[in-house]
Amino acid sequence: MSQQTATRPGLADPRLREEILYYCRESVRCGLNFNTQGNISVRLPGVLDGEDAVVITPSDVRYDAMHPEDMLVVDMHGTVLEGDLLPSTELPVHLEHYRRRPDAQAIVHTESTFVNVLGALGRRIDPVLLNMVLYAKGPVPIMPFEFSTNADFGRRSAELMGDDVNAVVWANHGLLAVGVSLKLAFKVAVAVEENAEVLFQAERAGTPTVLVYDQIAIPEGARLP
Ligand SMILES: [Zn+2]
């Protein structure tokens, strides 16, 4: 156990650590990740004398062998405050997305198949399903391929995602989804993958109808995410 762990105990609630582990395993069960792919983080608002911290999954640990205590807590500069393992290699990218989007309380990175089919083709993911347009909002843009482990990539990824869409595709790699909660960030990742598969199949048969978030008629009293 590190010295920092002893001086700053319990920045991440045990229930939150369990929730992150649950969604890690769900990501494999839902076909969003294979093996040790992907990662998840959650913002811890104001826990460091008013400054935010982030709890993130460790690098290179199989989800079926991961424990709640394996999660790491880091400050917004990436300094590890709790945990003995190495944080996900994409930590700098998560931090840049949190900086750009104050509304983002959680980030889910997945490497699902149909997101990667469209990503490898360089095709942005237009919404053709209600779930997609409700959770991810607009068309999901695509970053050209490059390694995704540095802050510069993260700044450009966050810039491309912008303020109104909740996901971005990294070509030849996967998806980064944000949400106002971990539950919602996960729903974004699920919705984009499902939409990517339907879009891909529908385009082989004809011209699918694309939904535009600002133009869909939302019934009075509808409960929106
Ligand atoms: Zn990845």
Residue-wise pLDDT for 140-190, tens only, equals 999 999 998 899 999 999 999 999 999 999 999 999 999 999 999 999 999
User: By the 8 A CB rule, do 159 and 152 touch?
Assistant: no
Catalytic residues: 90
What's the CA-to-centroid distance between 38 and ligand 1, angstroms?
Answer: 5
pLDDT tens-digit series, residues 29-73: 999 998 889 999 999 999 999 999 999 999 999 999 999 999 999
3-state secondary structure of 178: strand
Please state the separation of Cα 180 from the chain's center in Å. Answer: 11
What's the CA-to-centroid distance between 166 and ligand 1, angstroms?
Answer: 17
What's the CA-to-centroid distance between 187 and ligand 1, angstroms?
Answer: 18
Instruction: Give the residue among 217, 225, 216 at the shortest CA–CA distance from 187.
Output: 225
More confident residue, 217 or 156: 156
H or E element at residue 40: strand 39-48
Domain 12-213: CATH class, spelled out: alpha beta
Domain limits of the chain?
12-213
Amino acid at the residue 141: P
